């Protein structure tokens, strides 16, 4: 068993290096995208979303914007949510230029009353929400010792990444259940599996959303509703821009990440995870101390 465990740890370390868990220069983004999941193709995506009402949060930039553009081109009716009305209008124009349909819904998602008002408005206007993409998120990279007097380092990620998401989903879920059709896609993170140091607040909020979604999936298992947790690796978005070390680390482009989301819409899996984080989670299960050594060096 010890020999097998050591071999597994070496494989996990090599896989992590290849997709950029640690700051190595020779990571291959092409392999990372292929391992996460291939897009289902234009025809399959159009079949999956044509005429469907898809709500995307955090749609003004990054993964959310790229996802909106790709889904809009495939025929989805898009409800785009973010704080900035001007940026949302830009995305709507980009979607329309490709022949798609998009509607802007400015909303501060950490304001739960505003989320309730959003749900009421979109249901009255559009009649339903077929797919939710919980993409809006906040990440904080900071050691716990530096957060001793900054409890909001834990409150803020939970407010947006967890409470806002479940408030939104609980608002539209009854309609999905009544129609016996729907999907909730959570843009999670491979941090849920790797649990890297310095990201305790962010990782905990994403893990909470995954755990909540898994529990609710059991309740709606026979109602045609699927919860999909997409555990993204590093993606080159405005969210990671303040962290200088990430400029040296390979990352997916927003378009590549959006292709992963579109693949999840087509195939409706329960989970999508990079191969490297799956290796690391197996290593963690076999030896927690080995997992500690991996996460100590994760960025």
User: What are the residue numbers of the active site?
Assistant: 202
Give CB contacts under 8 A, 24+ apart, made by 43-49.
44/266, 45/70, 45/71, 45/74, 45/262, 45/265, 45/266, 46/74, 46/75, 48/74, 48/265, 48/266, 49/74, 49/75, 49/76, 49/131, 49/265
Give SS3 for 97. helix
- As a whole number of angstroms, the distance between CA 80 and CA 65 comes to 9
- For residue 246, CA distances in Å to 117, 138, 200 come to 37, 16, 18
| Helices marked H in 85-164 | 85-97, 112-126, 152-157
Give SS3 for 235. strand
| Helices marked H in 20-61 | 29-36, 42-49
**Eight-state DSSP code of residue 78:** E
Helix H or strand E encompassing 57:
strand 53-57
């Amino acid at each position: 068993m010890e020999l097998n465990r050591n071999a597994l740890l070496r494989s996990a370390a090599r896989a992590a290096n290849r997709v950029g868990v640690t700051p190595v220069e020779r990571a291959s983004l092409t392999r990372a995208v292929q391992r996460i999941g291939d897009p289902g193709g234009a025809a399959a995506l159009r079949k999956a979303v044509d005429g469907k009402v898809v709500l995307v949060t955090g749609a003004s930039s990054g993964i959310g914007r790229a996802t909106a553009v790709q889904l809009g081109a495939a025929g989805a009716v898009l409800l785009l949510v973010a704080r900035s009305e001007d940026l949302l209008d830009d995305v709507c124009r980009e979607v329309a230029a490709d022949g798609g349909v998009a509607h802007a819904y400015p909303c501060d998602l950490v304001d739960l009353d505003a989320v309730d008002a959003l749900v009421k408005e979109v249901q009255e206007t559009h009649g339903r929400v077929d797919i939710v993409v919980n993409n809006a998120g906040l990440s904080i990279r900071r050691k716990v010792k530096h957060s001793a007097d900054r409890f909001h380092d834990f409150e803020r990620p939970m407010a947006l990444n967890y409470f806002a998401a479940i408030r939104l989903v609980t608002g539209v879920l009854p309609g999905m259940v009544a129609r016996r059709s729907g999907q909730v896609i959570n843009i999670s993170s491979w941090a849920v599996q790797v649990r890297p140091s310095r990201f305790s607040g962010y990782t905990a909020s994403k893990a909470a959303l995954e755990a909540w979604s898994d529990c609710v999936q059991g309740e709606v298992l026979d109602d045609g509703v699927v919860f999909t947790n997409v555990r993204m690796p590093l993606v080159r978005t405005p969210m990671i821009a303040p962290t200088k070390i990430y400029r040296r680390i390979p990352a997916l482009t927003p378009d590549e990440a959006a292709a992963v989301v579109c693949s999840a819409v087509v195939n409706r899996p329960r989970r999508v995870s990079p191969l490297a984080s799956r290796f690391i989670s197996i290593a963690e299960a076999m030896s927690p101390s080995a997992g500690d050594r991996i996460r100590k060096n994760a960025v």
